[in-house]
Structure 1
Amino acid sequence: MSVITMKQLLEAGVHFGHQTRRWNPKMAEYIFTERNGIYIIDLQKTAKKIDEAYFFIRDLVMEGGSVLFVGTKKQAQDAIKEEAERCGQFYVNNRWLGGMLTNFKTIRKSIDRLLELKKMEEEGIFEVLPKKEVSKLNLEMEKLEKNLGGIVEMKKLPAAVFVVDPKKERNAILESRKLGIPIVAIVDTNCDPDEIDYVIPGNDDAIRAVKLISSTIADAVIEGRQGEMGSIENAEEEELVEVVEMAEEIAPVEEITAQDEENA
């Protein structure tokens, strides 16, 4: 059984591709037909590809990996933020800064600056500074928050990236490929699927379509995290059993020692 139904895909408008004059021939295998100058995506293939992406993300997270959600176009911004936060992952939904992955050490310095400014504000330092200086610092903080707020807690590179519209997020795709980070993406009929590891053929312009697929990826993360917690709990239980068994083995020795002391 698929993780998402055909009815859900249809209702969200996932099947609507771009105009026939704006297409990438490499997407031909995912196109069902053409209607009124618009390509219709084969939702049976979309459902199958969503399953593949879902289980990949679930297993990756179960092994302790993290996922970076990326979508800076207007139709994707809210869904990317909401779903990444819901599943406890990272996101970029305003602007992809050059080197966000390939020059992560420098990006971390900017994040540290953001955290420093927030701390200054919390500690009341802004209250004793001149208004002009505070205004300048607030602008700096707002800009950093807008671009980096979704990756503040990202201490290392993600194990995978989920992208809405790889054509729009060209730099994110290039950096991920350069570093060998697997890419899961919603790929419309005007995109190049060859650049994507886990292609999800679908409408990347409809808010409902983006929300549906993003939420499914978030669900995969949540299931993976539950599995990770289960693995940790099982490991702790096994460790406890080992300790108990060791204690039982040691107990007779301690009893013998106590008896020896009494006899002495």
Structure 2
Amino acid sequence: MRIDMARQEPTRKVKDMSQITMSEMLKAGLHFGHQTRRWNPKMKQFILTQRNGIHIINLFKSLDMIDKAYDFIKQTVAHNGTVLFIGTKKQAQEAVQNQATRVNMPYVCERWLGGMLTNFQTVSTRVKRLKELEEMDFSDVRGSGLTKKELLLLEREKDKLAKQLGGIRNMNRTPSAMFVVDVNKEALAVEEAHKLGIPVVAIVDTNTDPDSVEYPIPANDDAIRGVELLTSLIADAVAEGLLEHAGKNSKSEGADAQPMAAWEKELLTNEGETSDKSAESKKAEESEESEKSE
């Protein structure tokens, strides 16, 4: 069976800074959904066909949804908004951390702690505690006035907090929007966002309800290369929004405008290169099943 998508090589320019091609999406495995028996009927509109018991996602429709999500993220950041990147599954952790860090946005790539958004005041207190511990010199036993055991316990506390909250240490308010790699995996985070009226952009696989988020991107959410590609694209949207926001400030402030930070200047020449990993990922949730193959 030949997939019609492979017959064409359209290039979709996503606004000004980035472009994504059908070939890139196919090579990244973004068209592979879950096994047909595990599908969510609400994804029917985004499914092209099935092959060897696996649903094939219509990437032409995915491109349309990417356009909408990209523009939303760009405009959100251009109006001084922040985007929280979330991806706690193994396939997403590195991409989420790297891309969010690249554009100076908060992220969560370890376990989502209940109340991170809905109980933000308490979480902020824990972040403050983390920053206090980071100021300590755990090797200075005499100067601290504490015992070695006490210092060891405090250092362990710091390491634990850094792992849990390090990605949101500079998030001073609840985010304006969220980008989520796997809606089912991050159901608690999405639920908290909805309670606070925070729009969600998310990669939705064929086992997901696309109506559960405001800006769904139909695609394989388990392929490492695919997750990297889309996460990088969302980070590019953030970068473009930051530059637009900086431009607006420069015009409004005139000679009194503050100079751009070094990392913001880098965005002018850095268009979001991502690491090119050769390893293909298989569905984590279906490790007992046969691997997806083209």
TM surpasses 0.5: yes
Question: Which residue of structure 2 lines up, in the alignment, with residue 52 of structure 1?
Answer: 68
Summarize deviations over 1:78-130 as a string: whole Å, max 9, x none.
00000000011000000100000000000001101101110123895697432
Please report the RMSD computed on the Cα atoms of aligned residues, expressed in angstroms: 1.7
Instruction: Supply the AA of the counterpart residue of 1:234.
Output: K
Q: Which structure exhibits the higher relative contact order, with contacts defined as CA atoms closer than 8 Å and separated by 6 or more residues?
A: 1
- Aligned CA distance change for structure 1 residues 36 and 235 (closer, same or farther; 3 Å): same
Question: Which residue of structure 2 lines up, in the alignment, with residue 40 of structure 1?
Answer: 56
Instruction: Supply the AA of the counterpart residue of 1:180.
Output: G
Equivalences for residues 19-30 of structure 1 within 5 A:
19-30=35-46
Is 1:65 the equivalent of 2:65? no
Higher helix share: 1
- Aligned CA distance change for structure 1 residues 116 and 107 (closer, same or farther; 3 Å): same
Quick one: which of 229, 234, 237 aligns to 2:254? 237
Separation of aligned partners in 1, 2:182 and 2:191: 13
Instruction: Supply the AA of the counterpart residue of 1:193.
Output: P
Contact 2:141 2:147 in 1 (8 A): no
Equivalences for residues 85-234 of structure 1 within 5 A:
85-121=101-137, 124=140, 128=144, 129-234=146-251
- Aligned CA distance change for structure 1 residues 39 and 120 (closer, same or farther; 3 Å): same
Report the TM-score when normalising by structure 2. Answer: 0.79
User: Number of matched residues?
Assistant: 240
Bigger shift: 63-72 or 124-133?
A: 124-133
Instruction: Supply the AA of the counterpart residue of 2:206.
Output: T
Bigger shift: 101-110 or 137-146?
A: 137-146
Contact 1:2 1:48 in 2 (8 A): no
Report the TM-score when normalising by structure 1. Answer: 0.87
Question: Which residue of structure 2 lines up, in the alignment, with residue 257 of structure 1?
Answer: none
Question: Which secondary structure state, in structure 2, belongs to the residue aligned with residue 84 of structure 1?
Answer: helix
- Aligned CA distance change for structure 1 residues 228 and 138 (closer, same or farther; 3 Å): same
Is 1:2 the equivalent of 2:19? no
- Structure 2 portions without partners, runs of 5+: 1-11, 15-19, 258-294
- Aligned CA distance change for structure 1 residues 16 and 127 (closer, same or farther; 3 Å): farther
Instruction: Supply the AA of the counterpart residue of 2:136.
Output: M
Contact 1:2 1:47 in 2 (8 A): no
Summarize deviations over 1:200-253 as a string: whole Å, max 9, x none.
00011011000000000000000000000000111123989xxxxxxxxxxxxx
Q: Percent identity?
A: 54
Contact 2:138 2:152 in 1 (8 A): no
